[in-house]
Structure 1
Amino acid sequence: MEELTFYSYPSCTSCRKTKKWLVTNSVKFKERHLFKDTPTKKELMEILTLTTDGLDELLATRGETFKSLGVDVGELPLSEVVTLMINEPKLLRRPILTDGKKLVIGFNPDALKGMAK
């Protein structure tokens, strides 16, 4: 299995719950601070290929950052939306966990069990 990458933000409750779950279940992972070590364009594109709902799964549409954009992301080319997410990592739902084959977004113990195998 490829190494599990855990994109998180320390003050995020879901991130803390997920990290606790990973540690408690002895799952090895590499943690990356979502705002200090933002995924690259290539990494975000790879993450998007693992989603079932594309951008809807990755974008934090209820957050103030998204609302303050005042744009319809459905009208933008994918490359522009990805650039927005890199420039404004608060647009990303968190945490994001991936091993390159599977993806878990948010705190989801059932999905995490699939990652731990």
Structure 2
Amino acid sequence: MIFLCYPKCTTCQKAQKWLDNNGLSYELRNIKENNPTLEELKKWHKMSGLPLKKFFNTSGLIYKSLKLKDKLQGMSEEEQYKLLASDGMLVKRPIIITSNKTLVGFSEIDYKEMIK
């Protein structure tokens, strides 16, 4: 399992604590230092079953400064992937990737479901 996070993010800290408390092993990846590639994002998006829009960190400073709330709708999926791959801080976190599932954000319910 890969756990993508930004160490200063409180939601990521909660998710990591949950993983640790439940004895799960994972590969930790700092999303700011090692942002997802275009290929990874495409694969994870497909595995998540979520709209691509859910991969954007809508509360982030970069998202807001680029005024993406207004621009995303007019962008192609390929343009959105390229934008996400350009800076890890644009990507919603934490992200968990298992062999067959991608979870975006932290939901204790989803995490419990994942370990069943």
The TM-score normalised by the length of structure 1 is: 0.87
* Correspondent of 1:13 among 10, 19, 32: 10
- Give the percent of matched residue pairs that are identical in Structure 1 and Structure 2: 30
Q: Alpha-carbon deviation of 1:33?
A: 0.6
Residue 107 (structure 1) aligned with residue 103 (structure 2): no
CA contact (8 A) 1:51 1:57 kept: no
Structure 1 runs of 4+ off > 4 angstroms? none
Number of equivalences: 114
Residue 56 (structure 1) aligned with residue 53 (structure 2): yes
Q: Alpha-carbon deviation of 1:9?
A: 0.7
CA contact (8 A) 2:47 2:101 kept: yes
Residues in 1 aligned to 2:103 and 2:67: alpha-carbon distance in whole angstroms: 28
State the partner residue of 2:86. 87
Gaps of 5+ in 2: none
The TM-score normalised by the length of structure 2 is: 0.88
